[in-house]
């Protein structure tokens, strides 16, 4: 681990975000990598203005970091992480772990719900400044790069700690059947098999295939960490359900099927679907939902199919209030302004 943790920030930019199959089956916009380069350039300028000295980049197939630096006048000490590249989600997880070991004060992410989920798996307790680069995201927000860089810089330099808040996540514990036909946990009570930041769906499909979800009729159960009116994706189903609870600390469980209450929700850009909600109930922090299905199905995490479940599999989904620490950019700017940070 590096002993010099002075004013350093990590940047993880995913070149694959904003380009999945929802651009074909719905009306999602393509977010090209040249625009990500421009965003990163503005993030760097915001970081430097707030006193950040060192920046670490995750290497990627498009070389977003080096291209952002091309022609940029900056005194930042910038380096690319020396890591084995797979050009998959594993790179984001590995980069986050390395940045945490280097002692960065903040990690800026450019990507969607999936990118931030991959980062959260390994990053520890380092504050995140997520920037959405897509049209189907709930966890990261659309935010101007300059403002994101300034907010991340303030937190990394110890000037915006009060703007960092913890958000919940879903811990996923899978069980498998051993040779004596008894259930075994593949994870421990402390270490889940996987996590989700926004939603977990039981999806009536046998294979992961193209990953993205767009057929609402195949959603059988849904667990949400949050209910935000105005969101898009599977979480919008919960947001449009009357019986959703009132506390921001609560999650939501939904069971879908025939004979329930019809709910109209935008599950993808321009794709409004009517689903039938049979059961809806709030989830308290720490509450566990047990899922058992007789037929093979798929577990979708944050809108993407990830885990194939065999017939008779059991999965436990727990709402964990101790999820990642996230920066509220506008709050960070407000705190700094009231403290006179911007007075020259």
Q: Is the pLDDT of residue 282 over 70?
A: yes
Judgement on whether residues 33 and 161 belong to the same structural domain of the protein: yes
Provide the pLDDT for residue 344. Answer: 85
pLDDT in tens, 27-41: 666 778 999 999 999
Question: Is 343 among the domain residues?
Answer: no
Question: Is 2 among the domain residues?
Answer: no
Higher-scoring residue by pLDDT: 265, 185: 265
**What 3 state SS string does 37-78 have?**
HHHHHHHHHHHHHCCCCEEEECCCCCCHHHHHHCCCCCCCEE
Q: Read off the pLDDT of each residue in 296-324 and give the average, rounded to a whole number.
A: 93
Judgement on whether residues 143 and 186 belong to the same structural domain of the protein: no
Residue that the structure tokens 């946990």 belong to: 185
Q: Read off the pLDDT of each residue in 258-263 and give the average, rounded to a whole number.
A: 95
Q: Read off the pLDDT of each residue in 260-283 and give the average, rounded to a whole number.
A: 94
Provide the pLDDT for residue 18. Answer: 62
Higher-scoring residue by pLDDT: 316, 312: 316
Instruction: Please give the Cα distance from 165 to 232 (Å, whole number).
Output: 22
Judgement on whether residues 123 and 186 belong to the same structural domain of the protein: no
Closest listed residue to residue 12, CA positions, set 137, 111, 151, 133: 111
pLDDT in tens, 68-86: 999 999 999 999 999 999 9
Judgement on whether residues 278 and 188 belong to the same structural domain of the protein: yes
Provide the pLDDT for residue 14. Answer: 94
| Residue 141 DSSP symbol | B
Q: Read off the pLDDT of each residue in 227-255 and give the average, rounded to a whole number.
A: 89
Judgement on whether residues 53 and 154 belong to the same structural domain of the protein: yes
To the nearest whole number, what is the mean pLDDT of the chain? 89
Question: Is 3 among the domain residues?
Answer: no
Judgement on whether residues 117 and 199 belong to the same structural domain of the protein: no
Q: Is the pLDDT of residue 4 over 50?
A: no
Judgement on whether residues 188 and 130 belong to the same structural domain of the protein: no
Judgement on whether residues 93 and 210 belong to the same structural domain of the protein: no
Reading the block at residue 16, the tokens are 């694959």
Give the containing element (helix H, strand E) for 344.
Answer: none
Q: Is the pLDDT of residue 133 over 50?
A: yes
Range of the domain at 118: 8-167+324-338
Q: Is the pLDDT of residue 181 over 60?
A: no
Provide the pLDDT for residue 27. Answer: 61
Q: Is the pLDDT of residue 245 over 60?
A: yes
Higher-scoring residue by pLDDT: 271, 23: 271
pLDDT in tens, 188-223: 457 899 999 999 999 998 888 667 787 889 999 999
Q: Is 102 exposed, middle or buried (0-12, 13-18, 19+ CB in 10 A)?
A: middle
Question: Is 228 among the domain residues?
Answer: yes
Instruction: Please give the Cα distance from 118 to 154 (Å, whole number).
Output: 24
Question: Is 344 among the domain residues?
Answer: no
Q: Read off the pLDDT of each residue in 42-66 and give the average, rounded to a whole number.
A: 97
Judgement on whether residues 34 and 59 belong to the same structural domain of the protein: yes
Question: Is 251 among the domain residues?
Answer: yes
What is the number of domains present in the chain?
2
Question: Is 154 among the domain residues?
Answer: yes
């Amino acid at each position: 681990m590096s002993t010099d943790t002075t004013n350093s920030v990590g940047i993880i930019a995913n070149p694959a975000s904003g380009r999945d199959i929802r651009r074909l089956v719905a009306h999602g916009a393509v977010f090209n990598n040249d625009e990500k380069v421009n965003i990163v350039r503005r993030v760097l300028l915001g970081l430097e203005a707030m006193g950040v000295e060192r920046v670490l980049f995750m290497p990627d197939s498009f070389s977003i970091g080096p291209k952002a630096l091309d022609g940029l006048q900056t005194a930042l000490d910038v380096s690319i992480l020396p890591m084995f590249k797979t050009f998959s989600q594993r790179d984001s997880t590995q980069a986050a772990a390395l940045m945490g070991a280097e002692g960065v004060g903040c990690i800026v992410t450019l990507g969607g719900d999936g990118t931030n989920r991959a980062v959260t798996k390994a990053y520890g307790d380092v504050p995140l400044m997520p920037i959405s680069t897509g049209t189907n995201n709930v966890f990261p927000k659309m935010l101007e790069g300059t403002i994101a860089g300034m907010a991340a810089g303030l937190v990394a330099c110890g000037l915006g700690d009060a703007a960092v808040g913890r958000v919940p996540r879903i811990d996923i514990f899978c069980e498998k059947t051993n040779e004596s036909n008894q259930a075994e946990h593949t994870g421990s009570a402390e270490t889940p098999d996987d996590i989700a930041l926004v939603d977990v769906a039981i999806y009536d499909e046998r294979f992961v295939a193209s990953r993205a979800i767009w057929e609402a009729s195949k959603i059988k159960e849904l667990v949400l960490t949050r209910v935000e009116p105005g969101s898009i994706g599977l979480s919008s189903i919960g947001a449009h359900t009357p019986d959703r609870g009132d506390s921001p600390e609560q999650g939501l469980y939904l069971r879908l099927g025939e004979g329930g209450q019809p709910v109209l929700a935008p599950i993808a850009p321009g794709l409004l679907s009517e689903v039938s909600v049979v059961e809806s109930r709030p989830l308290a922090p720490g509450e566990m939902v047990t899922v058992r299905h007789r037929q093979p199905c798929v577990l979708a995490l944050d809108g993407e199919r990830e885990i194939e479940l065999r017939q008779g599999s059991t999965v436990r989904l727990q709402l964990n209030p101790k999820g990642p620490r996230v920066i509220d950019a506008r709050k960070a700017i407000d705190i700094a302004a009231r403290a006179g940070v911007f007075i020259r």
